[in-house]
Every structure is written in structure tokens, then in C-alpha cells.
Amino acid sequence: MRVFSGDAALRFWRNDRVVVIGRHQCAALEVDATALRGLGVRLTRRFTGGGAVYHDLGNINYALVARRGLGGARRVVELFRIVGEAVAEALGSLGARGAYYRALNDVEINGLKVSGLAGMTMQDRIFVHGALLVGSDLAVLGKVLRVSREKLSDKRFVASRRKRVVTLEEALGRRVAPREVYKAISDALAEKLGLGTEEDNPSGAELREAIRLYREKYSRPSWNLRYIGFVETMLSREELEALRWAAQPSPEQDEIVKEIEESLAG
Amino acid sequence: MSIRIVCGEKKHPGGKLVRICLRLVGDRVRGVLLSGDFFADPEEEVEKLVERLMRLETSIDEAMEAVLREFRELGAEIYGIEVSDVEEAVRRALASAK
């Protein structure tokens, strides 16, 4: 789904069971490969920096592309703040108490992470996107993502507190429909950036470009498993095979892409 | 000759994490992998740095200076980590090699 026009576009989408690693990460160091395969979770690399996240249909992704300078943001970190604060306000409007933006790229509810942001600066635009845990399976997340001891020892995470993330549904104590989240985030961002909302679906040209990128980049192990050759000697054969399996799209994913291709052709 | 990979990591307090893995062949470093969850502008410059580091060949004693020299030449603004974090990650990787 796409909202806004002119100076900015806001998009929402969901992915089923996939770990998305950051542009500068090495997959083998970020995930438990055996757990990935055992749980049927795939892996892909995005084009923005930041850390590994787990997506399932209980996770909502949002992405804002904005003209550079909109809302005074000229660097990606400045747009992190605007989007992060808008998402925190949106969560507040849905009834979550204690939601706030935390630099550099997190949104938390009472000390627990509920959304992480990533993004990059392009020539005349800035792109910021985020993943929001609405009702994700945190047990799977905990099994597939490796959290380094170093990260746990940072003062932000008290040693005794093993729980680092929370879902919006846990915080609210009720089920939340995707539509509620889409509306809350687009309203909060529209107000912050002074934009009107105008809902639309992706255009044919956008879908064609998305499919080209999927075929040439995001479905390919050469992109998803970049740098793996460097650490290959420290992996077991089982881990390596599991990573190679995970770095290919699922048959369901391929089916969805084929359907879109057929609808574009017809 | 046996190949060993040793890694060290450092999280900048309230910031991001950088990880350094050294490929050791005998008493030489043959390649360094820099990875992490930081951001950069432009991001492509980080990839160029990673490519240069993966080809880096040096003695273990000179590894620290060689990695930091390459990192300081990064033609990008980096968010979430600083050169001191890369230094600590290299130190930790080297410590685990002993």
C-alpha cells in the first residue's frame, strides 16, 4: 500500500518468515543457520545498513522516501528522528503508553524495542524504513537471530533482563489489525511533515522494477550471502548448507512473484 | 598451512556494533572482514573499504595499524561507530588469536 504523493511516499508491506540482514553484515555471524532451516525461515540482505531483523506476518514494514530537506532533514539520521517520533506517536494513539524514539534508530515501549529503523541518503532524497513488531512470534525471533554478548553487555540492556523486545499486541493486551497501524503511522507522519494523505496501490512501473530487483539481486545467494566465503572455514557443512538453502526464496515467494508478473503481462 | 579465523567485536555505547574477523595463515594475516550494523553515507564507500580489507596482507604485529589506516581513509561519513571501536574490535580479535 502506498500513501502520500509529491514530496514523499510512504509504503507499507509484510513479509512471511524471513531474516533480513543489514547491508554490511555477514549472514553467518548474525543468524543461527541450523535454526533457520529447522524453522523454515529464509534470509535476505537489504540495501540499507543497520542490523538483522526477523519478519513474519505479525510484523509490519513501513518505508518513507522523502525529498531531501523535507521537515528539515538533510541527513538520514535526521529523518530517523522524524520517522521514529512519528511512529512513537502513532503507537501512543493506538493506546500504547511509554512509547518513544531512541537514537540512533529504535522505537521503544518502556525500555523494550518494538521497532527498528534503517535508511540511506540518496542524491536528492532520503529513504527511511522500519519494521514494527505487532504480533510477531518472538520465540522464533529469539531462536534465529544471534545477539552478541557485546550487545547484551551494553548498559541499555541490564544483564538480568533477557527480554529485549516487545510486540505492540503485548503492550496493548489486544489484537491489532494491520489497517489500524497503517492509518496511525500515516496520520502521524502526515501531520509531522505537513502532507496530505492519498492512498494508492503500487504502479505497474513500480511492480516491474521490484520484480527486476528481486530476480537480479534479492533472490540471489551471491547478494544475500556476500562475504560468506571469508568465514566459510569456520562453518560446519550443515551450517553452510542451511545458509545456502535460506538464501533462496521460498516456493511460495516465487509463486507470488509469478502471479504479479502474469498480472502485469495480462 | 592451517587457516584460522578469529573475530572481535565492539559495540559503541548507545550506538552500533562493529565486528572484525582476521584470517590467519601461519603467522600472517591474510584478509580482514569488517562488518556490523552501522550506517554510512555513501554506503558504497564501506563496500570499497571491505574489499580492500579482505585483500589486506600483513604480519600479526602490524595488523592493527594496517586496519586503522584503511579505516581512516574511508570516504564516507559513518554513523554509530568510531575509529576507537574498530581499534578495540581488532584488539579483541588479536587477543583471541593468542
pLDDT per residue as tens digits for the range B35-85: 999 999 999 999 999 999 999 999 999 999 999 999 999 999 999 999 999
Q: What is the pLDDT of residue A159?
A: 41
Q: What is the pLDDT of residue A3?
A: 72
Give the pLDDT band of residue A158 (cuts 50, 70, 90).
very low
Task: Give residue limits of the domains in chain B.
Answer: 3-97
Average pLDDT of every residue of chain B: 96
Provide DSSP, A79-124.
HHHHHHHHHHHHHHHTT-SSEEEETTTEEEETTEEEEEEEEEE-SS
Query: What is the domain-level CATH number for residue A62?
Result: 3.30.930.10
Say how many residues make up chain B: 98
**How many other CB atoms are found less than 10 A from the CB of residue A233?**
11
| Cβ pairs A/B, distance under 8 A | 96
Q: What is the pLDDT of residue B1?
A: 72
C-alpha distances in Å from residue A266, one per residue of A184, A212, A254, A259: 35, 18, 18, 10
Q: Which chain A residue lies closest to B9 (C-alpha atoms)? A: A150
Q: What is the pLDDT of residues A101-154, one digit of tens each?
A: 999 999 999 999 999 999 999 989 999 999 999 999 999 999 999 987 777 665
Does a structural domain hold residue A108?
yes
Does a structural domain hold residue A62?
yes
Q: What is the pLDDT of residue A163?
A: 78
pLDDT reading at A4 higher than 90? no
* Interchain proximity A104–B15, CB inside 8 Å: yes
pLDDT reading at A2 higher than 50? yes
Give the pLDDT band of residue A1 (cuts 50, 70, 90).
low
Can you tell me the mean pLDDT for A145-167?
69
Does a structural domain hold residue A32?
no
Q: What is the pLDDT of residues A65-100, one digit of tens each?
A: 999 999 999 999 999 999 999 999 999 999 999 999
User: CB neighbours of A24 closer than 8 A, spacing ≥ 6?
Assistant: A49, B34, B35, B36, B37, B38, B40, B43, B46, B47, B50
Instruction: Answer yes or no: CATH 3.30.420.40 is held by domain B3-97.
Output: no
C-alpha distances in Å from residue A257, one per residue of A54, A201, A244, B10: 21, 16, 21, 40
Chain A contact for B41 (CB, 8 A cutoff): yes
Q: Which chain B residue lies closest to A119 (C-alpha atoms)? A: B39
Chain A contact for B52 (CB, 8 A cutoff): no
* Interchain proximity A104–B79, CB inside 8 Å: yes
Q: Is A47 exposed, middle or buried (0-12, 13-18, 19+ CB in 10 A)?
A: middle
Measured N-to-C along each axis, helices B60-72 and B44-54 cross at an angle, to the nearest 10 degrees, of 160
Share of chain A above pLDDT 90, in %: 86
Residue A149: which domain range? 2-16+56-193
Q: Which chain A residue lies closest to B36 (C-alpha atoms)? A: A25
User: CB neighbours of A207 closer than 8 A, spacing ≥ 6?
Assistant: A260, A264
Give the pLDDT band of residue A266 (cuts 50, 70, 90).
confident
Does a structural domain hold residue A142?
yes
pLDDT reading at A160 higher than 50? no
Does a structural domain hold residue A180?
yes
Contacts of B46 in chain A (CB under 8 A): 23-24, 49
Preceding peptide of A249 cis, ω within 30°: no
Q: How far is A214 from chain B (nearest CA, A)?
A: 20
Chain A contact for B13 (CB, 8 A cutoff): yes
Give me the number of domains chain A comprises: 1
- Return the C-alpha cell found at B72: 581512516
Nearest to B35 among A26, A75, A155 (CB): A26
Q: What is the pLDDT of residues B6-32, one digit of tens each?
A: 999 999 999 999 999 999 999 899 999
Task: Report the complex ipTM.
Answer: 0.97
Whether the CB-CB separation of A165 and A99 falls below 8 Å is answered with: no
- Return the C-alpha cell found at A183: 492509518
* Interchain proximity B37–A49, CB inside 8 Å: yes
C-alpha distances in Å from residue A103, one per residue of A85, A95, B34: 10, 23, 23
C-alpha distances in Å from residue B8, one per residue of A50, A231, B88, B97: 18, 13, 8, 10
Whether the CB-CB separation of A57 and A177 falls below 8 Å is answered with: no
pLDDT reading at A237 higher than 70? yes
Half-sphere exposure of A247 (CA within 13 A, CB side): 22
Report how far residue A241's alpha carbon sits from residue A247's, in angstroms, rounded to the nearest whole number: 10
C-alpha distances in Å from residue A51, one per residue of A47, A61, A145, A241, A252: 12, 15, 10, 23, 26
Cell 560468506 locates to A228
User: CB neighbours of A20 closer than 8 A, spacing ≥ 6?
Assistant: A43, A44, A45, A46, A52, A53, A55, A131
Give the pLDDT band of residue A175 (cuts 50, 70, 90).
very high
Preceding peptide of B24 cis, ω within 30°: no
* Interchain proximity B37–A24, CB inside 8 Å: yes
Q: How far is B82 from chain A (nearest CA, A)?
A: 14
Give the pLDDT band of residue B2 (cuts 50, 70, 90).
confident
Give the pLDDT band of residue A161 (cuts 50, 70, 90).
very low
pLDDT reading at A162 higher than 80? no
Q: What is the pLDDT of residue B98?
A: 82
Can you tell me the mean pLDDT for A32-44?
97
Contacts of B71 in chain A (CB under 8 A): none
